[in-house]
Structure 1
Amino acid sequence: MIKTYGIWGMFILIRSWIFTKIFYRSAKLMLLPVDIRGRKHIKWGANFTMGFGCRLESYPKNGEVVLHIGDNVQLQDAVHITARSRVVIGNDVLMASKIYISDCSHGEYSGNETDSSPMIRPGSRELSSKDVVIGDRVWLGEFVAVLPGVTIGEGTIVGTNSVVSKDLPANVIAVGIPARPIKRFNFESGRWELIPKDPDGLFK
């Protein structure tokens, strides 16, 4: 392991392991530094790991657990997850680095009478929230953003730099802004197959 991490890296690894076992025994490893806000409103399962500089935060309305993380979930460096109403992350989920997931935003922008005025400072606008659900065995690539109100089906892969602003079905590969499915896994052939495009050149 010294060849992989170096002497200084091994020191950080050992220090982080000791920190994890003292303060977060149910987790497997949390690499320091970590930033966890509202710990009592966050629940994670077995073998949970976090990379350097991750930030988990919860701001519940009624004091309940609002961030649910399943078993065998692995977050790489600088993943930022915010929960206000409900964020659910399934089992065996893998997240690359610098990912942002949130179920809330400063203000409402749905195009109805509850919309927030641009004359109000963004930081002073009332928080709005919509549940986020990420299914089992999902893989999120580097720099992915998952916005409020989104459900990602199990087995789905989201490509680097994508923004998930709408629901994604299970067992697809999705890319882009907004993220759209471009491949679907065929269980009969055992292959990822391209999804045909519609007349406008978009994937169906």
Structure 2
Amino acid sequence: MKNIFRFIKNLILFRLEYLPCFKRKFEYFGEKSMIHYPLMISNFKDISIGNNTTILANSRIQIFNYLTGDKAKVTIGNNCYFGFHLSILAGGSISIGNDVLIASNVLITSENHGIDPESSIPYMNQNLECKDVVIGDGCWIGEKASILSGVTIGEKSIVGANSVVTKSIPPFSIVAGSPAKIIKKYNFENHRWEKI
């Protein structure tokens, strides 16, 4: 009896991602995909997750349509792997392609608080400024990186650890720093990464 109770407790507390009732909350939740508990999710119906995608524990996906009046969505492709403590904060839509690798403690945000110092309204209550974010297929986002609103990261680009990406990145580039700058691009004629 103890073993049955332990199994049920484990299923409920740590493995809800396997249950059909959990998956039905999303706009789409692909086969062999899972999100590990604990997690924080809002607006399930505006989130699509492709097939064979894993999001590790202590992550959050929040969509702020109730604040913006917009219809932002979060779309995640197939065969992605996201580390612990992922934060996706969507005022505008966020689209993540297929085969994307994201390390732990990464922030992806398509919103920012208003920053009018002359307003009597505190920054946290000022209107959100929202711009869509796109992360292309095959990208690799390093540990503790931040991807800010309005950014497009081109196909198979790499974002170095601790980088803050404030501007769009062309495909097949490596960026690093705060703010992130291109340090290498892939040369298809020479078949190697070359310093910029």
1:55 is aligned to 60
Could you say what secondary structure the match of 2:16 adopts? helix
Q: Give the superposition deviation at 1:119.
A: 4.4
Partner of 2:143: 142
TM-score normalised by the chain length of structure 2: 0.83
- What is the RMSD computed on CA atoms of the aligned residues? 2.2
TM-score w.r.t. structure 1 length? 0.80
Q: Which stretches of structure 1, 4 residues or more, deviate above 3 A after TM superposition?
A: 11-16, 61-65, 115-119
Which of the numbers 79, 87, 95 marks the counterpart of 1:72?
Answer: 79
SS of structure 2 residue aligned to 1:177: coil
Aligned pairs, how many?
178
Match of 1:7 in 2: none
Q: Which residue of 1 aligns with 2:26?
A: none
Q: Match of 1:123, SS?
A: helix
Q: C-alpha distance in 1, partners of 2:157/2:134?
A: 12
State how far apart, in whole Å, the 2-side matches of 1:58 and 1:75 are: 18
Q: Give per-residue Cα distances to partners, 1:83-104, cap 9 Å, x unaligned.
A: 1221111111110000111111
Structure 1 unaligned regions, length at least 5: 1-10, 109-114, 196-204
Distance 1:155 1:91 in 2: 10
- What fraction of aligned residue pairs are identical, expressed as a percent? 39
Distance 1:186 1:119, change over 3 A: same
Match of 1:123 in 2: 124
Return 118-127 or 58-67, whichever deviates more: 58-67
After TM superposition, the structure 1 = structure 2 runs for residues 1-204 of structure 1, keeping only pairs within 5 Å, are 16=14, 18-22=15-19, 23-24=22-23, 26=30, 28-60=33-65, 61=68, 64=71, 66-107=73-114, 115=116, 117=118, 119-195=120-196
User: What's the CA shift for 1:64?
Assistant: 3.7
Any conservation in 2 of the 1:75–1:96 contact (CA below 8 Å)? yes
1:99, 1:142 within 8 Å by CA — same for their partners in 2? yes
**Structure 2: gaps spanning 5 or more residues:** 1-8, 24-28
C-alpha distance 62-71 of structure 1, shift in aligned 2 (>3 A): farther
- Residue 199 of structure 1 corresponds to none
